[in-house]
Structure 1
């Protein structure tokens, strides 16, 4: 799932390349991606991009007073077409490129393709006058990457909450932009168990979690900045210390990184660093 560091890098590349360019064509190959049926992406043809920004994990292409807000969902992403298209995989590669569901054409730039690789359509597009008209934007909590993000913002999400730390980190109403991967990385950096309730944290543990959250997210944004969008996913994977590293040695303590069941997915942690050596269950009871 794309998270704030990768979506920020995507937004910055699109902003640099598309600002001032007119939308020449909008080809929606999967009608379910259009969430504002009376205002499809094609209604913006002829309008010029005035900027590209991010709201949490969502992308916002501004066309003057109008906005094309894109939710990449669980498996969505963007790529350039034409001469800027990524190299196709070799015949021996296991994964074929994900299908294109929406193509946006721009003058003097290659087409921008939005893809979705999941078993269901998770990509979504809205044309709105105010990004807050999109429910997923309206509900967003404070963003740890925002320079104005404060300890008070953080404490408001965690203090007194009878909810597991990993769940709070991924709850978009509490903190915007964090998903499965970066929540694993944050908790590892903070040396905290993902299943401990926020209300059970001591003052010094809460401070460690605040510092780890801000440092991890802002550090990842800095590291992804300037990476071509075709390489952002692989760059993210390569940078992970515990997420996706099941069976490998923890880079801090040397313990074996393990899986545990969380909601409808699987996450990773280091027992020695985070749970006092306790092994968390692989399956929910």
Structure 2
């Protein structure tokens, strides 16, 4: 799933490609992806792209005073095309294409555009065309952006105290609490902070709070810096190559060499290093415990 650093890089790359370009048309290939009906997608035809920005993990393409908001969910992605077919895209159950944004002709006479795709059968990619981004419920309830200057240790303390005994992992990745951090970067932040994902949020000392706040800023900031200037096609590989623990179960921890462990849930999992984060004690993995009975 694209998280804050990848969506930030996508927004930057798309802003460079789309700004001040007219939208010729938008083809909707997966009708279930569009969550709004007024205004219609045709309202964007012939408008100029003003900018492309980000709200948490949401992309925001602004054109003609409207906002085309995209949430790529778990398996969505965006592919830049130097040339798109002249004929509109058609719905197909065999194609991952959800939406195509077609721009005017470039200097070579080609129609450039974006393909918004979603792999797999679990379709949760969402598109909204709205007059104000806050009309999108997911944006309206976002917590503070962790890369904003306003995200201070005091703000983080208030968030953790409000969460009470909730586990740090869940607090970090809850979008209504902190915007943009997902499963991967919450694992990476907690590994950098040397904290258990199950540690109660309100139990942090002042020193631990400072360490966690620094880990949030540095982990995300470094990922954004590495991703800056990369094309969409390069972002997934860049992210994967710099992860310390997430998705690396069974491999050695790059800090201490211990084996990275995993805790599995119904539809997700987390990875951590016991030596770095839990004093050498493995966390309980209920699914594995059931298998061993």
Q: TM (normalized to structure 2)?
A: 0.89
Q: Which residue of 1 aligns with 2:8?
A: 8
Greater alpha carbon shift after TM alignment, 219-228 vs 149-158:
149-158
Q: Which of the numbers 148, 151, 163 marks the counterpart of 2:150?
A: 148
Partner of 1:135: 137
Are 1:191 and 2:194 counterparts? yes
C-alpha displacement at 1:256, in angstroms?
0.4
Larger radius of gyration: 2
State whether residues 246 and 270 of structure 2, in contact with CA within 8 Å, keep that contact through their aligned partners in structure 1: yes
Residue 147 (structure 1) shift:
3.0
Which residue is equivalent to 1:93? none
Shift of 1:262: 4.5
Mapped contact 1:40–1:126 kept (Cα < 8 A): no
Give 1:98 shift.
7.4
* Partner deviation per Cα, 1:60-110 (whole Å, 9 max, x = no partner): 0011421111111111110012459xxxxxxxxxxxx97111101011262
Q: Please report how far the alpha carbon of residue 219 of structure 1 lies from its aligned counterpart in structure 2 after TM superposition.
A: 1.0
Residue 279 (str. 1) matches residue 282 (str. 2): yes
Alpha-carbon shift at residue 111 of structure 1 (Å): 1.3
Is contact 1:23-1:105 (8 Å) kept? yes
Whole-Å separation in 2 of the counterparts to 1:100 and 1:81: 13
Q: How many residues align?
A: 273
Q: Does 1:69 align with 2:69?
A: yes
Quick one: distance in 1 between partners of 2:243 and 2:265? 18
Divergent runs of 4+, >4 A:
none
Using the size of structure 1 for normalisation, the TM-score is: 0.91
CA distance in structure 2 between the partners assigned to 1:275 and 1:130 by the alignment = 44
Cα RMSD after superposing both structures: 1.8
Cα distance in 1 for residues equivalent to 2:235 and 2:112 = 19
Does the Cα contact within 8 Å between 2:38 and 2:130 map onto a contact in 1? no
Secondary structure in 2 matching 1:268: strand
Tell me, which stretches of 5 or more residues in structure 2 are unaligned? Answer: 85-93
Give 5+ residue unaligned stretches, structure 1: 85-96
Cα distance, 1:206 vs structure 2: 1.6
